[in-house]
């Protein structure tokens, strides 16, 4: 024979009271936690997108500034009203004060270096760059604005 456990009425009331109060509480907690989780994830994604956009804008501005300064300098080199000495001084100052530029080479039409500048100033050791990829690309793109690749 099976014995059935019988609870007192006060125990049953307490059990049903707990059941009636805890089930909605646990359900509401689960819903609110999931909602907060989704909002936090959306906020994190939005912040990351803002940071990525801001960083890409800064990098784009930085590179544009560097390219424009070098293009301006290359146009100044071909200007008729500046002497070679003034141009060389301007280039040497650019390389000296712009820490992102380590060397700057000026080549003639056959690929021979006419001027080389490093952080210390003008270098007198000139080499033939006609076989370099940068010179080949520049002659291929002659007449168009071109900045050669950076080498480390």
Candidates 88, 91, 105, 99; CA nearest to 147 is 105
Q: What share of the chain is helix, strand, coil (3-state, %, to 5)?
A: 60, 10, 30
Give the 3-state secondary structure of residue 117.
strand
Residue 6 CA to residue 17 CA, distance in Å, equals 18
Q: Spell out, as residue ranges, where the chain has pLDDT lower than 50.
A: 151-152
Residue 141 has what pLDDT?
62
Give the 3-state secondary structure of residue 141.
coil
Residue 80 has what pLDDT?
59
Candidates 121, 46, 134, 54; CA nearest to 89 is 121
Could you tell me if 147 and 67 are in contact, meaning their C-beta atoms sit under 8 angstroms apart?
A: yes
Residue 59 CA to residue 79 CA, distance in Å, equals 30
- How far does CA 33 lie from the centroid of its chain? 35
Residue 145 has what pLDDT?
53
Residue 104 has what pLDDT?
76
For helices 9-77 and 84-97, the axis angle rounded to 10 degrees is: 160
Residue 51 has what pLDDT?
92
Residue 75 has what pLDDT?
67
Residue 152 has what pLDDT?
40
């Amino acid at each position: 024979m099976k014995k059935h456990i019988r609870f007192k009425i006060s125990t049953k009331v307490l059990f049903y009271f707990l059941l009636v109060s805890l089930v909605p509480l646990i359900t509401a907690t689960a819903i609110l936690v999931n909602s907060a989780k989704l909002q936090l994830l959306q906020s994190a994604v939005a912040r990351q997108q803002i940071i990525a956009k801001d960083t890409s804008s800064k990098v784009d501005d930085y590179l544009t500034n560097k390219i424009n300064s070098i293009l301006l300098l290359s146009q100044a080199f071909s200007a008729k009203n500046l002497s070679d000495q003034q141009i060389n001084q301007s280039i040497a100052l650019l390389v000296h004060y712009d820490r992102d530029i380590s060397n700057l080479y000026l080549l003639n039409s056959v690929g021979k270096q006419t001027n080389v500048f490093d952080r210390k100033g003008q270098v007198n050791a000139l080499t033939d760059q006609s076989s370099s990829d940068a010179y080949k690309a520049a002659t291929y793109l002659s007449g168009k604005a071109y900045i050669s690749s950076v080498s480390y």
